[in-house]
Amino acid sequence: MKTNARRIAAYIFARWLVTHEFPSSLLPADGNRAFVQDLVYTAIRRLRPLRRVLGEFVKKWPKGELESLLYIGAAQVLYMPAVADYAAVNETVAAAREGSNPNVPKVVNAVLRNLIRRREEMHALIASASAEVRESFPSALYRRWVGRFGAADAEKLCAWHNAPGETYLAWKPGDRFEKLARGVRVEDVAGFAEGDFIVQDPGTRLAVELMDVQPGEAALDLCAAPGGKTVQLAWRGAAVTACEVNPKRRARLAENLKRLKLDGVAVVGEPPVGTFPKVLVDAPCSNTGVLRRRPDARWSWSEEKMRQLVAVQAEILDVAAARVAPGGRLVYSTCSNEPEENQEQVEKFLARHPEFTCVDMRESIPFASGCDGAFAAALAVVP
């Protein structure tokens, strides 16, 4: 029996609305994965304008299965031009028929057909909305970007994060990045089984380059999972100790290293005793630099959550400082573009630790760099 991709997408979307789980962890592993991901991520990415438009077609806002199916259906009609109208309607209605409520398919069919008839009107409605609604971002996040970059560049940043993420392969030894053609599975690329590459955006190179590891040099990756930067350091010849306190993430890290045949990397669950000439803190952060890949993260962002993350980052940096050998280097990095997590975090660290000085600081702003948002700072122990 053929699996209905819209049904799977609607289930994932409905579950995300309630639990806020990572949608990526719910995607199927079969041939439907790419299309289901496109359906789910488009609906999540365009949540605010879709909510605005669907409100024109329903008198009382639905919940549960019907709500999710309407979002998935409307996402196809308004934001997925490669999907034919008949397919968007027929397949989404078919997905609704797999449920137990006989009224749901009727409502889905009526709303989607009306939406198609009034599509130009709805596009005009979206275009007339405020920028944060039109571009589908939390108002507080959008306004802080306007304050930092100006309105024009803030919209450029929104446009970047609203485009589907491209897949890049970083090839051993990590100094070459190659964009993967759409529709090509990573597992089908020659060299996958041999561990010749990893999936990683070029924005990650900032931190790795600032580490400046030498062959045979000991390096500690203090927040290592899922392991992309660990791999890059190992490829450059460093003797890496990869620390990850979360057991599930640590297991994933170990699996990735095994596929890449990097048996020499030591994986530990607690920060080791002793010091290292090079220490990397790729800190947990708000992910505002990678919202293109993590569209759900925009809806979990808040000033309060970011303040909590800033406190955690400071604690990790203090732990890391004690692991840096005399004359050594600590590299702090995030996939955020928020100053509190980046430049301001570094300034506060230097105030607490006058034995360090900042020797370099780099930031990737997506609309300027053409790759994921990222930040990295190299902090050296003062001789």
CA distance linking residue 309 with residue 286, whole number of Å: 7
186-195 CB contacts, 8 Å cutoff, 24+ apart: 194/261, 195/259, 195/260, 195/261, 195/262
Instruction: From the candidates 158, 243, 285, 335, give the one annotated as an active-site residue.
Output: 335
Strand partners, 364: 374
Question: Is residue 285 flagged as an active site residue?
Answer: no
Cβ-count burial 122-161 (b if 16+ within 10 Å, e if not):
beeebeeeebbbbbbbbeebbebbbeebeeeebbbbbebb
Nearest to 107 by CA among 55, 57, 64, 72: 57
DSSP state of 37: H
Element (DSSP H or E) covering residue 112: helix 103-117
Cα-based distances in Å from 295 to 38, 45, 299, 308: 11, 5, 8, 21
Measure CA 11 to chain center: 21
Active site residues: 335
